[in-house]
Structure 1
């Protein structure tokens, strides 16, 4: 069985194929992942246009702009039907088409009009305030790459080129199952010995941020193993990925491992030596994935970012692994690491690189460190206590940060 994080991640990714593509309206496309690339089918702008409200001008035969006859005003969307000849000017609007013969556009506040003649109040350079054909995009330019997350800016670009519908990968369906027998719904009044379900809502939120669809969030509660097995199989029928949290671990037997074996799933990795969350695991049943995470909230969140999130991204055809950068840590960390440890942290970009600070509440059961967490400090096995000012390797949880 695999025994390193990187081997486990690669084994997981190796067993994932991107989901099929589907067409979506451009109005529903933001946040989705493109399944095909799109090239510009024309120049943008396609023709010479004005960049300002003002006057298109053609200087007189002496090259002067101090007495040009104003021959009219072009309306927005109007196509010029005659060229400007030397000594003429015509009013234009921002984005409007320019007539042949136009040498520049002078903003309306930079001219003086008297008796229908225009005098420029500024030096006029040929081409001033032109939107040149193709200055934004040329025909054949890539405007949307495959496996690209659709942003509002890309929506505007695609709309400009006439794409009212695009092809995107299906969103992965995800079910979440808490195996803890003492876990009750978050809206319930927890009796003594019980705890409210924090992992289910947290994981559902993370899944949505990573582009997934939540099929169900369920608790095993007091069900026996046969009933939980049935519950797990039903969840696998309706989801590409099932994430389980918690479960018993007694006498060297892990409850989720027993369940995975009994339903006939093929284990991909188990018991990866990292902290927090050394009992994480992964399995596959047909094309359906199972990721098992710790029941402790902080350990559960770390396991999600290291295993479940890469699976979700791979299902959508995008780079599965988190970006890694070096950062200067402003905090001390007094604990020596026996196994590899991921410390919840807050990373901040600076002009000279990244800075990172360790968040309070580092026990696996504590939620405090998750509130502002946007990075994981990766400390290797046997790392000594850490003084402030040390350069460390961090994983950025927000891929858009780099």
Structure 2
């Protein structure tokens, strides 16, 4: 055994000398003729591990054991090892190039491909049970209820009725576009069209041309299996701009990077272990540009709060700090999960309610908040309202 240890030590010293002992100064070429030649076949063979070859009456000597991290110092000192485990050979400075002799594996090990890597990249992942139950785990849960269970607030009744009529095809197309619409579709209804003054004809025809261009882009994105970002850029964004064009105080903002500020992250129940630090984000927000007096009042209120609360919205994203988000909007492609879109909208609504609660100075009920969820061409409008112990939103109109 002692001969083996001595031979192994000599061999290791020779290996180290191949790249340490004769390392030339920086900038000088190394003379390879002076370097010792390392022959892998000269490595000493360890003694036989056959128990039958041990001398009678002599116990077999075990290989040195690596000290465990939880061993005490006293236990570590009792190990009989031919090397000092606490000293690691180190090479020269990292600024020097050195060549370390290597021996390739004759049969290199291989790992089986991971299951996730073998799946197509466009295949959506299944929604985890935790994600589906996230809204129920909130301290003040968000619930999506059937439409017939909705309680329409008085301040929303007029708008709700008109939206319902439009969803049923009541007077939503201007007369100026009637001929083109009847030509391009297989079936039309008389109740679809509404009258308008002649001076509006040019505007409505330009609007129709823009809509046809957006429809062509949507067909192209759908046929090509475009990503969600492509839909947002070429279809949803332009359509929102067109819809908001008559309203000077309304804007659409892209909010894919507007993370919910930490003070407004919805609280979870005490018995929940779900991590809400990485709070979800939405895609768009329709913002309201306040009047001069209202804008000044908003700034005055926000100047008195900490930086992480310095926003009228539940996010401190710079573009929308002083412009309230009137309608949050989440988009998905066909392969995306509708349930995930609801979770993202629901968490945003919960954060928005938390922000509004911090701003209000009375017990007046928080107003109803419209929500939009889009899956390719299908747009769904919902209304989230405060029910006391929960925030509820019916599954409403498909447009």
TM range (shorter): under 0.3
Higher helix share: 2
Give the greater-gyration-radius structure (CA): 2
Taking structure 2 as the reference length, the TM-score comes to 0.19
| Higher strand content, 1 or 2 | 1
**TM superposition score normalised by structure 1:** 0.19
